[in-house]
């Protein structure tokens, strides 16, 4: 296989590359040839996972968050993620925009209006009536629980592990390198290669699901703007354009394509947010920002451990309807992004300390998320008739935004902008922001998958990088074609099943990190050199702490 790879002009580990590519192709063929059987298998797999392991998903993410805080606050917090004298390669602003645009920007655009409205009209917590003040407060709290600290925990834990073992020990740029303290040289053998192949497949399908959702949202926006038929072929055409933009950025590389696209996109997203703040109910939203911080912090402990054990069918049958559709789906979807977001963040975080990395990755995006939902979420609910008097006048019926979410989740953001000044212009800008966000996610993922196959942070040949961008688009197109009108449900089923093995891998990164950090020669005066890889014991000499 190595000679064949050389003839193709590839710089990869041939086993990892060809098996990953082959399995992706086989899966796509099976989806096309046996859609009902494959769909039934994913449906049954998802039902089993959310019923029997939903509690594990919820508990584990809390454990991950606790470990990250411990690592940052411990005596190991000042260790640099790279050589001792290394310093950050990117400014704080560029660092933040790159990790944000490649990480959660797509999700905020998709769910920024739709999730608060969904929980506002159908409260998941027991004893809360829809379209009430309590329902609105819970809706904001639950949305932030899903998309603030806990989402970034799922990115930060693998990111820290990758940055520590790859940047500090110069191990190959692969997921398997994280497990060196546990596997030693086994990371180069069948077990290590299996870990990398599973990570690549999880990343491909995780991003493919995101591209599928993104094309649905862009299609909804274009349909609202130009009265186009929002059908499968429109979504496929949009997906082709998104893939083309992502491929162009892939060719340009990390410092040119991804960095520039990320900075432009985050600027446009901030512009949209400021526009809503200024043209919406400004004073109401400013007060809401302050109140939302208190709501999030006060409700977080309850929501973080809430398992819905006494609600609905859960008591008798263990059926996790709401949790399976929301929290477990979010964690499974997010964790499929974690190999690529983690490696991407590790790549752009070389030279930062563990403490700086953890608090930067957890707090900065979470603060932005709080501001985003404070503006979009509260404004959407006010437009929908928030307040007892307004709701009573409407007879308790759903408002215009609720009706849009009921009709189509991807339509929510554009129905929202329809209620604001300059609606067509702002809807058009929103379409562009969504499209660039999803293209940025695709190009970031393709570059990282290329790193996983080559084992180095150096960019591979152009055609090698482009292959993965096209592969993501093809997988997403297949899912769109087969999902039909039940697209969101089908994508949830696929990603929940794919996410389980990745979730288990990320959980095992904690003992690997504990072993690695435990080998550091550190006290309150000195910081030692990195542990020797051959023995994974501290080296004898120490260096004065800078």
Tens of pLDDT, residues 206-247: 888 778 777 888 888 888 888 888 788 888 899 888 888 888
Q: Residue 541's pLDDT is what? A: 33
Confidence of residue 533 (pLDDT cuts 50, 70, 90): low
* Rounded mean pLDDT, 184-209: 89
Distances, alpha carbon 154 to alpha carbons 60, 298, 345, 352, 511, in Å: 10, 22, 12, 19, 16
pLDDT tens per residue, range 116-174: 999 999 999 888 888 888 999 999 999 999 999 999 999 999 999 999 998 888 888 89
Contact 528, 522 (CB under 8 A): yes
Domains of the chain: residue spans and CATH:
2-544 (1.20.1740)
* Core vs surface per residue 394-404: b (16+ CB within 10 A) or e: eeeebbebbeb
What is the rounded average pLDDT for all residues in the chain?
Answer: 83
Stretch among 100-114, 331-345, 403-417, 476-490 having the lowest mean pLDDT: 476-490
What is the DSSP code (8-state) at residue 522? B
How many Å is the Cα radius of gyration of the chain? 23
Residue 255 pLDDT > 70: no
Distance CA 318, CA 335 (A): 24
Cα 41–chain centre separation? 25
Contact 331, 58 (CB under 8 A): yes
pLDDT tens per residue, range 498-526: 899 999 999 999 999 999 888 875 543 33
Q: Which two tokens stand for residue 413?
A: 């953001």
What is the DSSP code (8-state) at residue 395? T
Q: Residue 524's pLDDT is what? A: 37
What is the DSSP code (8-state) at residue 532? B
272-279 contacts: CB < 8 A, separation 24 or more? Answer: 272/426, 272/429, 272/430, 272/433, 273/371, 273/372, 273/375, 273/376, 275/420, 275/426, 276/375, 276/376, 276/379, 276/420, 277/375, 279/420, 279/421
List 522's β-bridge partners, or say none.
Answer: 527
Which residues fall within 8 angstroms of residue 284, CB to CB, at 6 or more apart? 378, 382
Indicate left, alpha or beta for 253 from its phi (over 0: left) and psi (-120 to 50: alpha): left
Residue among 198, 258, 181, 242 nearest 474 (CA): 242
Residue 232: CB atoms within 10 Å: 18
Distance CA 66, CA 373 (A): 25
Which residues fall within 8 angstroms of residue 492, CB to CB, at 6 or more apart? 46, 325, 329, 333
Distance, first Cα to last Cα, the chain: 47
Q: Residue 101's pLDDT is what? A: 58
Residue 544 pLDDT > 80: no
Task: Provide the whole-model pTM.
Answer: 0.87
Stretch among 188-202, 368-382, 523-537 having the lowest mean pLDDT: 523-537
More confidently predicted of 40 and 196: 196
pLDDT tens per residue, range 54-80: 899 999 999 999 999 999 999 899 999
Distance CA 259, CA 434 (A): 17
Residue 546 pLDDT > 80: no
Distance CA 327, CA 493 (A): 13
Residue 538 pLDDT > 60: no
Confidence of residue 543 (pLDDT cuts 50, 70, 90): very low
Contact 221, 414 (CB under 8 A): yes
pLDDT tens per residue, range 410-456: 888 888 999 999 999 999 998 888 888 777 777 777 888 888 888 88
Contact 376, 188 (CB under 8 A): no
Residue 382 pLDDT > 70: yes
Q: Residue 539's pLDDT is what? A: 39
**What values do phi and psi take at 526, rounded to 5?**
-120, 155
């Amino acid at each position: 296989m190595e000679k064949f790879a050389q003839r193709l002009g590839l710089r990869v580990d041939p086993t990892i590359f060809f098996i990953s590519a082959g399995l992706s192709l086989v899966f796509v063929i099976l989806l096309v040839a046996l859609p009902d059987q494959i769909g039934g298998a994913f449906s049954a797999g998802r039902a089993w996972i959310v019923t029997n392991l939903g509690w594990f998903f919820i508990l584990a993410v809390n454990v991950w968050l606790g470990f990250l805080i411990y690592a940052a606050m411990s005596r190991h917090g000042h260790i640099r993620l790279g050589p001792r004298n290394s310093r950050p390669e990117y400014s704080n602003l560029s660092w933040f925009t790159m990790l944000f645009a490649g990480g959660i920007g797509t999700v905020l655009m998709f769910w920024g209006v739709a999730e608060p409205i969904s929980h506002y009209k159908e409260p998941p917590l027991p004893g809360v009536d829809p379209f009430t003040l309590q329902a609105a407060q819970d809706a904001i709290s639950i949305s932030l629980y899903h998309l603030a600290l806990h989402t970034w925990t799922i990115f930060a834990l693998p990111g820290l592990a990758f940055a520590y073992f790859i940047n500090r020990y110069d191990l190959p740029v692969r997921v398997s390198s994280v497990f060196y303290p546990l596997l030693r040289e086994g990371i180069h053998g069948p077990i290590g290669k299996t870990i990398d192949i599973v990570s690549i497949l999880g990343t491909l399908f995780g991003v493919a699901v995101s591209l599928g959702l993104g094309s649905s949202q862009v299609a909804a926006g274009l349909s609202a703007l130009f009265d186009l038929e929002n059908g499968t072929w429109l979504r496929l055409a949009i997906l082709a354009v998104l893939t083309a933009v992502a491929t162009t950025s892939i060719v340009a590389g990390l410092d040119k394509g991804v960095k520039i696209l990320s900075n432009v996109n985050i600027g446009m997203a901030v512009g949209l947010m400021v526009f809503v703040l200024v043209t919406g109910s400004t004073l109401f939203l400013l007060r809401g920002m302050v109140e939302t911080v208190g709501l999030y912090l006060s409700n977080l402990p309850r929501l973080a451990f809430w398992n819905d054990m006494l609600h609905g069918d859960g008591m008798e049958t263990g059926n996790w309807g709401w949790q399976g559709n929301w929290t477990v789906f979010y964690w499974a979807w997010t964790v499929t992004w974690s190999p690529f977001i983690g490696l991407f963040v590790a790549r752009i975080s070389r030279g930062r300390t563990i403490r700086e990395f953890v608090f930067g990755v957890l707090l900065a995006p979470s603060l932005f998320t709080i501001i985003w939902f404070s503006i979009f979420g509260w404004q959407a609910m006010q437009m929908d008739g928030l307040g007892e008097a307004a709701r009573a006048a409407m007879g308790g019926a759903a408002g215009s935004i609720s009706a849009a979410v009921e009709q189509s989740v991807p339509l929510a953001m554009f129905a929202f902008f329809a209620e604001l000044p300059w609606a067509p212009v702002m809807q058009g800008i929103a379409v562009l922001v969504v499209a660039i966000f999803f293209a940025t996610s695709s190009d970031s993922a393709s570059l990282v998958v290329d790193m996983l196959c080559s084992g180095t942070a150096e960019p591979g040949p152009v055609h090698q990088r482009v292959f993965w961008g096209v592969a993501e688009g093809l997988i997403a197109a297949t899912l769109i074609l087969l999902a039909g009108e039940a697209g969101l449900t089908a994508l949830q089923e696929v990603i929940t099943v794919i996410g389980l093995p990745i979730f288990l891998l990320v959980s095992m990164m904690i003992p690997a990190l504990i072993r690695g950090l435990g080998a550091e020669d550190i006290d309150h005066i000195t910081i030692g050199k990195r542990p020797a890889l051959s023995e994974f014991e501290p080296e004898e000499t120490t260096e004065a702490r800078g």
